[in-house]
């Protein structure tokens, strides 16, 4: 970590930080790195990264957006489980389309729904008349 790196490199990548973490987690990780730093130059670089990432939310967002996502996880770790299968498609039955009694009551149509349908043959039904 003490080698000279490009200034363009994301602090998340340089210091192995998780871009999804907030200021508290970033502070804790950089504190650990600063305590383990071998020299003052490294501590100063860590301090500069801490200021950049915790005091300036827009800069932290820009650095996180420019960080490469971790695509492989820990070495030797099992791959993530596959996503669950989508739920079974709902088959619509005729009974699903019937107005429920509570809806009929709310609309004031209980009497209409309870009345029998007129016994009209399809050829005599005015709805089927050709114009």
Is 94 contained in some domain? no
Is 77 contained in some domain? no
Is 21 contained in some domain? yes
Is 103 contained in some domain? no
> Is it the case that residue 59 has pLDDT exceeding 50?
yes
Say whether pTM exceeds 0.85: no
Q: 73: left (phi > 0), else alpha (psi -120 to 50), else beta? A: left
Is 26 contained in some domain? yes
The model's pLDDT over 33-42, given as tens digits with 9 standing for 90+, comes to: 999 999 999 9
Is 22 contained in some domain? yes
Cα dihedral 22, 25, 31, 32 sign: negative
The per-residue pLDDT of the chain, averaged, comes to 80
Structurally, how many domains does the chain consist of?
1
Domain with 42, as residue range(s), is: 11-66
């Amino acid at each position: 970590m003490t080698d000279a790196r490009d200034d363009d490199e994301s602090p998340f990548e340089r210091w192995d930080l998780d871009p999804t973490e907030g200021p508290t987690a970033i502070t804790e990780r950089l504190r650990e790195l600063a305590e383990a730093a071998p020299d003052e130059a490294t501590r100063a670089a860590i301090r500069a990264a801490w200021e950049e990432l915790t005091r300036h939310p827009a800069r932290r967002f820009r650095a996180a957006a420019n960080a490469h996502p971790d695509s492989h996880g820990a070495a030797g770790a099992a791959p993530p489980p596959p996503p669950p299968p989508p739920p079974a498609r709902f088959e619509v039955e005729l009974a699903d389309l019937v107005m429920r009694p509570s809806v009929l009551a709310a609309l004031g149509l209980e009497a209409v729904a309870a009345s029998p349908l007129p016994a009209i043959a399809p050829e005599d039904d005015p709805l089927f008349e050709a114009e």
